[in-house]
Structure 1
Amino acid sequence: MSKLYRAAKARKLAALGLHPCQDVLLWVLAQERDGMTVSQLAARLGIEQPTATRSLARLESGGWFRREPVATDRRQVRVVVTDAGHKLVPEIERAWAELAEEALGEVSMEQREIVLNALEQANDTLRASVGEAVLAEE
């Protein structure tokens, strides 16, 4: 199911000029009006800083963010979402909602509630099994 979901998500995101994972990266960046450093972004996403840097490089041609120097640390760069990026966020959210609806299609509300509860329990179990270190990275 994970592979099928990712393939369906890739199709929806392609219409927006995005690849999977770029949607989440841009969405997270857009939550911070003043932007964030690459290291802050990596920590928020639970990825390594070089991975965040590569992902940003792939996104840069879209004009969805700009890089600004950090006044207090010349080694750091703050990534700030542009107006074009902020305009794309509702489209990303719409694609997510459409995909969720398509995936659950004819599943009744009662069945959806059961699935959601089961997923939340599985999530809680996994969080407990990996410890607090991973939770701090989120």
Structure 2
Amino acid sequence: MEAAEVMRVNRALNKMSKLYRAAKARKLAALGLHPGQDVLLWLLAQRPDGMTVSELAASIGIEPPTATRSLARLEAGGWFRREPVASDRRQVRIVVTDAGQRLVPGIERAWAELAEEVIGEVSEDQRETVVTVLEQANDRLRALVDEAVLTEE
């Protein structure tokens, strides 16, 4: 790749990342959520029996302390409750409440609106190409990040 193309790709990816997060933040604000909280709440809603903090963190690829901080911010909304794990008194299960369940359709609607707005009116083939390229790029980034984590240990 030539230098001009490298700069163009980097600029586009950086700009997209910032703009996507800002647009998502605006949509989620209407629900009383911040980016990241939507994913946690949505995942919890998929598991009626709840999840431990470790399970939740592992499912989205973050560290348990990060999940704990995010949950602390969500707790004020009454969107989940903590229940003891009978087999391990040190653990608690995070269980979404009815109030949290009621937010899920709004989260999914915000995601759908944002996807439509970002991709725009393109053909099904173009949309498939865009999503495939983005997924491939994510896979390569994930491999780079995992590789970096392994070399740091």
Q: Does the alignment reach a TM-score above 0.5?
A: yes
Kindly indicate whether structure 1 or structure 2 has the higher relative contact order, using CA contacts under 8 Å at least 6 residues apart: 1
TM-score, scaled to structure 2: 0.79
- Residue of structure 1 aligned with 2:54, choices 39, 43, 50: 39
Q: Which among 87, 106, 109 is matched to residue 72 of structure 1?
A: 87
Q: Could you list the per-position Cα deviations for residues 42-99 of structure 1 after superposition, in whole angstroms to 9, with x for gaps in the alignment? A: 1111111111111000000111100011111111111100011111111101100000
Query: What do you get for the CA RMSD once the two structures are aligned?
Result: 1.8
CA distance in 1 between partners of 2:122 and 2:63 (Å): 38
Aligned pairs for 1:1-138 (under 5 A) are: 1-127=16-142, 130=146
Q: What is the letter of the counterpart of residue 65 of structure 1?
A: F
Residue correspondences, number: 133
Q: Partner letter of residue 19 of structure 2? A: L
SS at match of 1:69: strand
CA distance in 1, matches of 2:97, 2:20: 29
The CA distance in 1 between the partners of 2:67 and 2:139, in whole Å, is 27
Q: Secondary structure at the match of 1:12?
A: helix
What residue ranges of structure 2 are gaps of 5+ in the alignment? 1-15
TM-score normalized with structure 1 length: 0.87
- Distance in 1, matches of 2:32 and 2:74, equals 9
> Structure 1: where are the runs of 5+ without partners?
none
Q: Which has the larger radius of gyration?
A: 2
